[in-house]
């Protein structure tokens, strides 16, 4: 695949919007979004029945545009799209995002129309994302064909590919609350032309992207996908959440993006072989992507747990064991050093339950330094009443936390997967102190899942068996 052919989707010189409208409904949000992102005279609205939309001039046809454009965004009715694409070809368009629905996902008639559209595009050398999609978001330059909350556009390093538009919109809605930041977000819809393999290749070569996260319902060309992914995963981690794993799920995916999701066993084997990390749940996808974006993979499966609650320590080590991780045996040096400052009641072992002592972050640092430990899961629980009591003494909880510079220095060597159970407000306070290199994951159980995925990926990179 020629990567340059995808460039106009993400870094267009000039953009034409076919079907620009200020009428509330489909197209309204896309029109507003394209107008508001400051493309200025690089954006051309097209609508034969309007003089202007939201105060911006409209051209009656793409044929009438004063200059050539490289990207067209189409929100016109499905049936006019093949001919609109012909017009686009005449004005230099190299890439088209077809957001309109009404193609293969609706049945044989729609499939015919989709094939016709693809034939026109092929003939004129136009690449297509869609139809039945929301297109792209590029946080590096702020270009987006999808209306989204502004905070979701803060640049990050997670490149995300999804099939359905609603799903991608919701991902962007929840991302800011979860501390997830994207480099690119792409929805493929019916993927009549550009597919997951093309996009993985693109993201692999995209400087901003460190982690590739996909929601897939099936792979369009299995062999090509595997060939691409096998080498991709050696360069960047690839995380996949696959819908349509079961017969009922497969039937469901068929009816909404016209994609056949195929037998799950085949995918399982192929994913594992190619070093893809496969997750089963949405929170797991977000947590794993978040962690991979900022932390190293562990060199092995020996995990240490530090917590302020013995119950949660026990639950977390249970979950780690279920997942094939190995509870690390702390070295005698670590035990001695922690014990030297610990109160008498504290059992210095793994999981390390520091209870209400102020030794939580010191404990984390000590086990991070331990050569017997490949990575750490830290679970901080602070009852809200303690936060309030400390506040009553005039101390903000953030300032009362220990100095983290020692821990930060160790983050290049091994992962520190952090989680909390507690009020939102407390999580936000602590996240501010931890900073972006220590994201708070959604639960201790998911921290264990993330560690397990990372460890398997680390094995793959090191060439040892999965």
Q: Is 161 helix (H, G, I), strand (E, B) or coil?
A: strand
Candidate list 77, 125, 155, 247; residue touching a copy of itself; CB under 8 A: 247
| Virtual torsion, Cα 148, 153, 156, 157, nearest 10 deg | 50
Name residue, tokens 């368009």: 93
What phi and psi, each to the nearest 5 degrees, are found at residue 47?
A: -165, 115
| Residues numbered 38-97 forming contacts with a copy of itself, rule: CB under 8 A | none
- Contact characters 104-143, a copy of itself, x per CB under 8 A: -xx-------------------------------------
Nearer to a copy of itself, 216 or 416 (CB): 216
Task: Tell me which of 237, 244, 275, 375 binds a copy of itself, using CB under 8 A.
Answer: 244
The CB-of-279 to a copy of itself minimum distance in angstroms stands at: 11
Q: Which residues contact 351 (CB under 8 A, 6 or more apart)?
A: 304, 305, 306, 307, 310, 313, 314, 316, 317, 327
> What secondary structure letter does DSSP report for 80?
G
Helix (H) or strand (E) holding 136: strand 135-138
Provide, rounded to whole angstroms, the least separation between the CB of residue 309 and a copy of itself.
4
Q: What x-and-dash track marks residues 262-281 binding a copy of itself by CB under 8 A?
A: ------------------xx
Q: Name the residue among 395, 361, 406 with its Cα closest to residue 379.
A: 361
User: Are 133 and 168 within 8 A, CB to CB?
Assistant: no
Terminus-to-terminus CA distance in the chain, angstroms?
A: 30
Rounded CA separation 116/102 (Å) = 13
Closest CA to 450 of 310, 286, 232, 234: 286
Binding to a copy of itself (CB under 8 A) within 296-315 occurs at 308-315
Q: Which stretch binds a copy of itself (CB under 8 A): 69-77, 90-98, 266-274, 416-424?
A: 416-424
Given candidates 243, 275, 298, 458, which one binds a copy of itself under the rule CB under 8 A?
243
Which of 98, 129, 241, 447 is the binder for a copy of itself (CB under 8 A)? 241
Among 94, 181, 220, 245, indicate the residue that binds a copy of itself (CB under 8 A). Answer: 245
Got the DSSP string for 82-105?
HHHHHHHHHTT--EEEE----SGG
Are 444 and 379 spatial neighbours (Cβ–Cβ below 8 Å)?
yes
Binding segment for a copy of itself (CB under 8 A), chosen from 69-77, 242-250, 333-341, 406-414, is 242-250
Applying CB under 8 A, the span of 91-99, 237-245, 292-300, 399-407 interacting with a copy of itself comes to: 237-245
Contact stretch for a copy of itself (CB under 8 A) within 89-97, 223-231, 288-296, 318-326: 318-326
- Select 184 or 245, whichever has its Cβ closest to a copy of itself: 245
Q: Minimum CB separation from a copy of itself for residue 394, in Å?
A: 12
Instruction: Kindly tell me the sign of the dihedral angle through the C-alpha atoms of 45, 49, 52, 53.
Output: negative
Question: Three-class SS of residue 59?
Answer: strand
Position 260 contacts a copy of itself (CB under 8 A): no
Name which position in 2, 24, 399, 465 contacts a copy of itself (CB under 8 A).
24
What x/- string results for residues 346 through 385 when contact with a copy of itself is judged by CB under 8 A?
-x-x-x-x-xx------------------------x-xxx
Q: Following DSSP, what letter does each residue of 200-225 receive, concatenated?
A: HHHHHT-TT-SEEEEEES--SSHHHH
**Minimum distance from residue 1 beta carbon to a copy of itself (Å):** 25
Q: Could you tell me which stretch among 54-62, 80-88, 360-368, 421-429 binds a copy of itself (CB under 8 A)?
A: 421-429
Residues 434-453 that bind a copy of itself (CB under 8 A): 443-445
Shortest distance, position 171 Cβ to a copy of itself, whole Å: 8
Element (H, E) at 447: helix 444-462
């Amino acid at each position: 695949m020629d990567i340059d052919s995808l460039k106009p989707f993400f870094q267009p010189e000039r953009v034409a919007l076919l079907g620009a409208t200020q009428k509330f409904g489909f197209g309204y949000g896309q029109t507003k979004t394209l107008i508001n992102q400051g493309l200025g005279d690089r954006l051309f609205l097209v609508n034969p029945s309007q003089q202007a939309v939201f105060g911006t001039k409209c051209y009656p046809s793409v044929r009438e545009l004063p200059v050539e454009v490289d990207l067209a965004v189409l929100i016109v009715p499905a049936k006019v799209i093949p001919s609109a694409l012909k017009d686009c070809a005449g004005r230099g368009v190299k890439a088209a995002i077809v957001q309109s629905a009404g193609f293969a996902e609706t049945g044989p008639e729609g499939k015919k129309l989709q094939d016709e559209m693809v034939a026109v595009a092929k003939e004129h050398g136009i690449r297509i994302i869609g139809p039945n999609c929301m297109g792209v978001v590029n946080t590096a330059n702020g270009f987006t064909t999808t209306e989204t909350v502004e905070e979701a556009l803060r640049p990050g390093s997670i490149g995300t590919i999804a099939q359905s538009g609603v799903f991608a919109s919701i991902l962007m809605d929840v991302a800011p609350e979860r501390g997830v930041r994207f480099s690119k977000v792409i929805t493929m819809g019916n993927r009549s032309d550009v597919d997951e393999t093309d996009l993985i290749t693109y993201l692999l070569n995209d400087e901003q992207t460190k982690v590739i996260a996909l929601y897939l319902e099936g792979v369009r060309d299995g062999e090509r996908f595997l060939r691409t992914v096998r080498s991709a995963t050696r360069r960047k981690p690839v995380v996949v959440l696959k819908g349509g794993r079961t017969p009922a799920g497969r039937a469901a995916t068929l009816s909404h993006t016209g994609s056949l999701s195929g037998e799950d066993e085949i995918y399982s084997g192929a994913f594992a072989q190619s070093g893809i990390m496969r997750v089963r749940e949405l929170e797991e996808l977000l947590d794993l992507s978040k962690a991979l974006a900022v932390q190293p993979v562990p060199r092995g499966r020996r995990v240490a747990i530090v917590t302020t609650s013995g119950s949660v320590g026990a639950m977390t080590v249970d979950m780690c064991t279920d997942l094939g991780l190995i509870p690390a045996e702390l070295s005698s040096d670590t035990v001695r050093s922690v014990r030297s400052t610990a109160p008498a009641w504290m059992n210095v072992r793994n999981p390390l339950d520091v209870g209400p002592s102020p030794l939580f972050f010191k404990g984390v640092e000590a086990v991070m330094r331990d050569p017997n430990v490949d990575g750490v899961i830290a679970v901080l629980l602070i009852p809200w009443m303690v936060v309030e009591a400390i506040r009553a003494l005039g101390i903000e909880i953030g300032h009362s936390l220990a100095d983290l510079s020692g821990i930060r220095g160790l983050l290049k060597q091994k992962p520190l997967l952090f989680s909390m159970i507690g009020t939102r407000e407390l999580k936000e306070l602590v996240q501010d102190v931890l900073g972006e290199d220590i994201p708070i994951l959604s639960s201790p159980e998911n921290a264990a899942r993330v560690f397990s995925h990372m460890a398997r990926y680390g094995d793959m990179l090191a060439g040892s068996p999965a």
